[in-house]
A and B are shown apart, each in its own frame.
Chain A
Amino acid sequence: MTWFTRLKNAVSSQQLDADLADEMRDHIERRAADLEADGLDSSAALNEARRAFGNATQFREQSRDTKLSAALEGTWQDVRYAWRGLRKNRAFAAVAVVSLSLAIGATTAIYSIVDASILRPLPVTQPKQLITLASVGDTSAIGGAADDAGFSYPLYEILRAAAGNAAKIALVDAPNRVEGQFGDGDAPREDLVQDVVSENLFDALGISPAAGRLFSEAENRLAAPRPVAVVSYDYWVRRFGADPAIVGKRLIINGKAYEILGVVRRGFAGVHAGSLVDVWLPIALTDPGVFSNAQFRPFALVGRLAPGVTRTQLAARLQPAFHNHQVARSEAGPAMADNERRRLRGMRIVAQPGATGISTFRQMFARPLWFLLGVAACILLLACANVASLLLAKSVSRANEMALRVSLGAGRARLMRQLVTESTLISILACIGGWFVARIVEPAFLALVSRDGNPVQLDLALDARVLGFSVMICALSVLCFGVLPALEATRFQPASALLRLRASGAGLRLGRFFVGVQTAVAFCLLSLGTGFLISLRNVTSVDTGFDSRGVTVLHMTDRLGPQQRDQQLAAMRAIQLNAAALPGVKSAATAWTPIFAGARRAQRVILPGHPPSDAAETFYRVSPGFLGALDIPLIAGRDFDVRDNDNEPVPTIVNRAFARKYFGREPVLGMEFQRDDSIRHQIVGVAGDSHYGSLRNGAEPIVYMPMKPTTSFTLYVRSTSDARAVGEMVERDARALAVGMRVRSVTTLHDLVNNTILTERLVAVIGAAFAFLGLILAAIGVFGLLNYSVTRRTKELGIRAALGARQWTLCRLVLNEVMRTMASGLVVGFVGFLIAIRFAEAILFDVRPVDPTVIGTAAIAFIGMAVIAAGIPAWRAARIDPVLALRQE
Chain B
Amino acid sequence: MRSSDSAKNALDLLVLTVLTRRGPQHGYGIANAIRHLSAEALRIDEGSLYPALHRMEEAGWIAAKWTVTEKSRRARVYEIKRAGEKRLAAETERWTAFSAGVSRVLRYA
Q: Which residues of A contact B (CB under 8 A)?
A: 1, 19-20, 22-24, 26-27, 30-31, 52-56, 58-60, 62-63, 66-67, 70, 409-411, 413-414
Contact = CB atoms under 8 A, between A and B. Distances in A.
A782 B17 CA distance: 52
A666 to B, nearest CB: 95
15 contacts: A23-B27, A26-B26, A26-B73, A27-B26, A27-B27, A31-B28, A54-B48, A59-B48, A62-B51, A63-B50, A66-B58, A67-B58, A409-B83, A409-B86, A410-B83
Nearest to B59: A70
Contacts of A23: 27, 50, 75-76
Of A22, A63, A67, A413, chain B has the most CB atoms within 10 Å of the CB of: A63
B51 A59 contact: yes
B74 A22 contact: yes
Interface in B45-77: 45-48, 50-51, 54-55, 57-58, 60, 63, 66, 73-76
A414 B28 contact: no
B76 A26 contact: yes
Contacts of B73: 26
Please name the 6 residue pairs, one residue from A and one from B, whose CB atoms are nearest each other, closest first: A54-B45, A62-B51, A70-B58, A54-B47, A59-B47, A63-B54
Chain B residues touching A, range: 20 to 34
B45 A67 contact: no
Of A53, A62, A70, A409, chain B has the most CB atoms within 10 Å of the CB of: A409
Interface in B1-43: 26-28, 31
A484 to B, nearest CB: 24
B51 A53 contact: no
Interface of B: 26-28, 31, 45-48, 50-51, 54-55, 57-58, 60, 63, 66, 73-76, 81-83, 86-87
Contacts of A59: 45, 47-48, 50-51
A227 B43 CA distance: 95
A410 B82 CA distance: 10
A590 B54 CA distance: 89
B31 A27 contact: yes
Main secondary structure of the interface of B (DSSP, over half): helix
A55 B28 CA distance: 16
B54 A66 contact: yes
A410 B74 CA distance: 31
A410 B87 CA distance: 11
Given A1-B63, A26-B28, 11 more contacts: A22-B74, A26-B74, A27-B46, A31-B28, A53-B46, A53-B47, A54-B46, A63-B54, A409-B86, A411-B82, A414-B60
A56 B47 contact: yes
B101 to A, nearest CB: 25
Contact of B45 (A31, A55, A411): A55
A52 B45 contact: yes
Given A24-B50, A52-B45, A59-B51, A411 B83 contact: yes
Contact of B51 (A19, A31, A63, A411): A63
Contacts of B51: 59, 62-63, 66
A22 B76 CA distance: 9
Given A23-B76, A66-B54, A53 B45 contact: yes
Nearest to B30: A27
Nearest to B81: A411
Contacts of B82: 411
A423 to B, nearest CB: 21
A411 B60 contact: yes
A27 B26 CA distance: 9
A52 B46 contact: yes
A399 to B, nearest CB: 21
Nearest to B53: A63
Nearest to A60: B50
A511 to B, nearest CB: 30
Contacts of A1: 57-58, 63
Nearest to B44: A54
